[in-house]
Amino acid sequence: MMPKWIGKSNLLSEKNIVSLTSSISAILVGLLFGLVILLISNPSQAFAGFKTILFGGFTGGFKGVGQVLYFATPIIMTGLSVGFAFKTGLFNIGASGQFIVGAYAAVLVGVRLTSLPPSIHWIVALLAAAAAGGLWALLPGILKAYANVNEVIATIMMNYIGMYSVNYLVTRTVYDQLRNQSISTVAVLPKWGLTTLFPRSSVNGGFFIAVFMVIVVHILINKTTFGYELKACGFNREASRYAGINAKRNIVLSMVIAGALAGIGAGLLFLAGSGKHIEVVDILAVEGFNGIPVALLGMSSPIGILFAGLFIAYVTQGGFYLQLSNFVPEVIDIIIAAIIYFSAFALIFKNIMSKLIKGRKEQKQ
Amino acid sequence: MEYIIEMLGITKTFPGIIANDDITLQLRKGEIHALLGENGAGKSTLMSVLFGLYHPDKGTIRMNGQEVHIKDPNDANKLGIGMVHQHFKLVHNFTVIENIVLGVESTRHGFLSMENAKKKVMELSDRYNLKVDPDALISDITVGMQQRVEILKMLYRDNEVLIFDEPTAVLTPQEIEDLMQIMRGLTEEGKSILFITHKLKEIMAAADRCTVLRKGKYIGTVEVDAVTMEELSEMMVGRKVSFAVEKKALQPGQDIFEIRNLIVKSRHSQKNAVQNISFKLRRNEILCIAGIDGNGQSELVYALTGLQPVVSGQLILGGQDITHASIRQRNAGGIGHIPEDRHKHGLVLDFNLAENLVLKNYYLEDYQHQGFIKFDAVYQYADQLIQQFDIRSGQGAFTPARSMSGGNQQKAILAREIDGNPDVLIAVQPTRGLDVGAVEYIHGQLVDQRDAGKAVLLVSLELEEVMNLSDRILVIFEGELVAELDPKETTIQELGLYMAGSKRGKVQ
Ligand SMILES: Nc1ncnc2c1ncn2[C@@H]1O[C@H](COP(=O)(O)OP(=O)(O)OP(=O)(O)O)[C@@H](O)[C@H]1O
Ligand SMILES: [Mg+2]
């Protein structure tokens, strides 16, 4: 006999179906909204442009798919970062800062520790990125747990501190003056056959690592006592205290893990060997912020985040090709952002959907 | 006789359960109509249907003979139907007056105008003797006053039909007396009241008629004057219920928990809520801390269980100093705790029943292996407790705790804490919200714990429970122990005098 609880975590359970349908309807509304903006900004090209957004991701066949996986990798990780913290009831707005310090750590190790054999060089660099990201989230975690400082404010501050520190450190340690960016890292992630599958694209083993992390986080949240404790703290901090759960420790741990996930995301991007460098500019890392809509659209569930990350990467990719049909780059950014953020209202749609379903059921009976 | 409200053939199902099965309820104008039934019988559901929170699958509602459709609480409000929920719905960082006008604010030139509102509230408050402070924050006032705010909310909206869902579960005996007065006053003004309670005495004292539900079904409606409490309880449970607690005489055993010179800060002010309290808890005894709500009981319990630090003093559990031990250490060391506030401390409402039942032992070898939860073991254990404690819900162990009826939520906490078999069981209002059958069972369980050599520290506002259950009574007044009494040699009246502070005795 199948254990009873398996039946409950069934992928096709009513709860999951509601989540899925609501995410999908959110996406549809987002796309529709994008179409409206297209129509306003350039009516004659609107439908062609819309088609580009919808199918642009497949441009070049397998190459396009490979690019989508490549762009999805870091935002899946930052999505995991935000979603994981949210399970503990914490809003991690600091994925951006955690991401950029993770990037710096990865690049520093990737550039400087050349004595390491290539097969482990990237591992060390990636671990450094995780550690740096985790460390960056440690302070907001401690402030939240022990001084009840709102983590939203603390993590936003850390974003700016992270950005300026990294800019400074890059110019001092790994600077390519000509291009105003970091120099190329020697450590590079393995390809694990993905380049043969998706020729001429930038995809690499990092995508597999992201998928692996999705599974790890899924198990951590749903199958372990640690995940149980984190959820208990997230749902009801007083009750978990009553149960003897060390809520303070869990808050700190949860933030650190979230930070490490964002750091890994940066490692996977900057060690990809795709020519990506840390640019010395005063702009917060956009991958960090995109983690928020990814997590929202994925309903904070790791599996959902995986697909949400893929979707958002796909749309972004389609947006690149929009430039071919006479759209100003700024408008493209607006359209893509509109689709992404509109979709992220999935949570609201979830409520509407479950009400609709309930209403229909009541009518039937 | 004309009916103001008629609910005819109401049926409402939830996943796995028919909460209301073809129920009929007729409310006369100007009467107090009690609704009685076991935990999970469907009382709150029926009232929520009337208030527009749930839509019935079948059935009609009539008001003054006319069929009405109540789609949401706004519709209910327009029809003059108001409800005080089992768990209050007040905004805690708003003031009393802000809560009352919430949703029906009057504005002048686009700005909130509170003066008229305040005048009306004060008038109502005076007329029905509700005694509220309009400018106090909800978080600062007692539960009893919060309830009166809920009542004012209904009156402010000129409601004619008032629903009270277990209003007395959280009140002190004096407050209950006051509430009954208020309710009578309201019906004299022509308002009609639906009143849910598990306390048969209150029904006998206040209600005109009583409708009984059992497991979602309609059993009958009776004139209260024509029945006895025994008959009512038999109608509701389907068997005879004993109100007396069966308890054999027992010599108290050795000291197990010693409290020395305990001082604890108040949760609301800078004062000390517990002032230099010392006592010993012994095996084989049920010791009761009796007192009027707000005299330091909560803080005392918080200090014993570790939820709040002590200012000074010592706690010795089985020879070990646990004054500064963590909550986990205390739990593992043999302290069980049935908390005062089941939603704040007792349950994680977004977890399911099984997850709540292992809230204190999920980390033990029985339920986890190398950090992985053994779901099989967890659900097996949950099923066993559900069976043993008769916890009723739609989807068994998988029921979200949030969707369970109030009494069954309480039973889940009791099952977890009693089954944990602690040396010292600290039970605060353990039978709050339970039906008479469940109260009988839980009292039996507490006595069994005592007989098995455990110690029970009971904190209860219900004087009858105190008198029936305890072996020894300590009276707390303004943070001090003012009397030590033997329940066999004292009366409720005398106990009341000590609790009110008008009499002082000796404490060893
Ligand atoms: N929102 C809901 N979703 C699912 N099941 C529900 C919901 N509300 C109530 N139920 C179920 O319906 C049944 C009746 O619940 P209800 O709250 O009406 O009981 P009650 O008579 O008020 O009990 P109590 O005396 O314990 O408050 C219970 O078994 C409960 O689990
Ligand atoms: Mg109820």
Helix (H, G, I), strand (E, B), or coil: what is residue A128? helix
In order along its 508 residues, chain B shows pLDDT tens digits of: 689 999 999 999 998 899 999 999 999 999 999 999 999 999 999 999 999 999 999 999 999 999 999 999 889 999 999 998 877 788 888 888 888 888 777 666 666 677 788 888 888 888 877 788 888 888 777 777 888 888 888 888 888 999 999 988 877 778 888 889 889 989 998 999 999 999 999 999 999 999 999 999 999 999 999 999 999 999 988 888 877 788 888 888 899 999 999 999 987 778 899 999 999 999 999 999 999 888 899 999 999 999 999 999 999 999 999 999 999 999 999 999 999 888 889 999 999 999 999 999 999 999 999 999 999 999 999 999 999 999 999 999 999 999 999 899 999 999 999 999 999 999 999 998 899 988 998 999 999 999 999 999 999 888 889 999 999 999 999 999 999 999 999 998 888 889 888 878 777 6
SS (H, E, C) A151-216: HHHHHHHHHHHHHHHHHHHHHHHCEECCCCEECCCCCCCCCCCHHHHCCCCCCCCHHHHHHHHHHH
Reported as type and span, the H/E element at residue A253 is helix A247-270
Look at residue A365 and tell me whether its pLDDT is greater than 50: no
Query: Which among B164, B403, B436 is the best mutation to test ligand 1's pocket, defined by most ligand atoms within 8 Å of the CB?
Result: B403
Q: What are phi and psi of B17, to 5 degrees?
A: -155, 145
Q: Is A5 on the interface with B (CB under 8 A)?
A: yes
| Contacts of A258 by beta carbon, 8 Å cutoff, 6+ apart | A81, A82, A84, A85, A90, A92, A95, A98, A137
Alpha-carbon span B122 to B176, nearest angstrom: 22
Q: Is B348 on the interface with A (CB under 8 A)?
A: yes
Alpha-carbon span A363 to A348, nearest angstrom: 23
pLDDT band of A350, cuts 50, 70, 90 = low
Domains of chain B: 3-237 (3.40.50.300), 242-334+422-508 (3.40.50.300), 339-421 (no CATH)
Chain centroid to Cα A271, Å, comes to 17
Ligand 1 atom index nearest CA of B410: 26
Q: What are phi and psi of A221, to 5 degrees?
A: -75, -40
Chain A residues in contact with B346 by the CB 8 A cut-off are 239, 242
Q: Which of B481, B279, B302 is nearest to B311 (CA)?
A: B302
Alpha-carbon span A233 to B350, nearest angstrom: 11
What one-character DSSP code corresponds to residue B346?
A: I
Alpha-carbon span A265 to A124, nearest angstrom: 14
| CB-based burial, A85-95: b 16+ in 10 Å, e otherwise | bbbbbbebbbb
Alpha-carbon span B186 to B195, nearest angstrom: 13
Ligand 1 atom index nearest CA of B213: 21
A242/B371 touch (CB, cutoff 8 Å), yes or no: no
Structure tokens at A151: 């983590």
Structure tokens at B29: 């104008």
- How many angstroms does the Cα of residue B228 sit away from the middle of ligand 2? 23
Alpha-carbon span B275 to A115, nearest angstrom: 68
SS (H, E, C) B75-108: HHHHCCEEEECCCCCCCCCCEHHHHHHCCCCCEE
Across B85-235, the runs of DSSP E, i.e. the strands, are 107-108, 111-112, 161-165, 192-196, 209-214, 217-223
Q: What is the β-pairing status of strands B3-14 and B111-112?
A: unpaired
Assess whether the C-beta atom of B385 lies below 6 angstroms from ligand 1.
Answer: no
A242/B376 touch (CB, cutoff 8 Å), yes or no: no
- How many angstroms does the Cα of residue B45 sit away from the middle of ligand 1? 6
Beta bridge mates, B317: B257, B320
Residue type, position B236, single letter: M
For A3, the closest of B344, B349, B376 (CB atoms) is B376
**Ligand 1 atom 25, closest CA:** B39
Q: Is A356 on the interface with B (CB under 8 A)?
A: no
B373/A224 touch (CB, cutoff 8 Å), yes or no: yes
Tell me how many degrees the CA angle B443-B445-B448 measures, rounded to the nearest 5.
110
Higher pLDDT, B314 or A200: B314
Alpha-carbon span B351 to B355, nearest angstrom: 6
Reported as type and span, the H/E element at residue B335 is strand B335-338
Q: Which of A74, A215, A70, A98 is nearest to A158 (CA)?
A: A98
B327/A225 touch (CB, cutoff 8 Å), yes or no: no
> Residue A9: what pLDDT?
45
Alpha-carbon span B483 to B497, nearest angstrom: 11
Q: How far apart are the first and last CA of chain B?
A: 61
Structure tokens at B399: 């029921």
Alpha-carbon span B111 to B167, nearest angstrom: 35
Q: Which alpha helices (H) appear in A90-150, and where do they start and end?
A: 95-112, 118-147
Chain A residues in contact with B360 by the CB 8 A cut-off are 243-244
Beta bridge mates, B390: none
Beta bridge mates, B262: B277
Query: Any idea how long chain A is?
Result: 365
| Contacts of B491 by beta carbon, 8 Å cutoff, 6+ apart | none
Q: Is B331 on the interface with A (CB under 8 A)?
A: yes
- Interface ipTM: 0.87
What one-character DSSP code corresponds to residue B245?
A: P
Domain ranges of chain A: 13-59+325-365, 70-320
Across B189-267, the runs of DSSP E, i.e. the strands, are 192-196, 209-214, 217-223, 255-265
Alpha-carbon span A36 to A34, nearest angstrom: 5
For B362, the closest of A8, A228, A235 (CB atoms) is A228
pTM of the model: 0.87
Q: Is A281 on the interface with B (CB under 8 A)?
A: no
Q: Is B337 on the interface with A (CB under 8 A)?
A: yes
| CB-based burial, A122-157: b 16+ in 10 Å, e otherwise | bbebbbbbbbbbbbbbbbbbbbbbeeeeebeebbbb
B372/A3 touch (CB, cutoff 8 Å), yes or no: no
Which of B375, B413, B417 is the best substitution to test chain A (most A C-beta atoms within 10 A)? B375
> Which contacts of B326-334 are long-range, i.e. CB under 8 A and separated by 24 or more positions?
B326/A244, B326/A246, B327/A241, B327/A242, B327/A243, B327/A244, B328/A244, B328/A245, B328/A246, B329/A244, B330/A244, B330/B305, B330/B306, B331/A243, B331/A244, B331/B360, B331/B420, B332/A244, B334/B422, B334/B423, B334/B424
> Residue B62: what pLDDT?
94
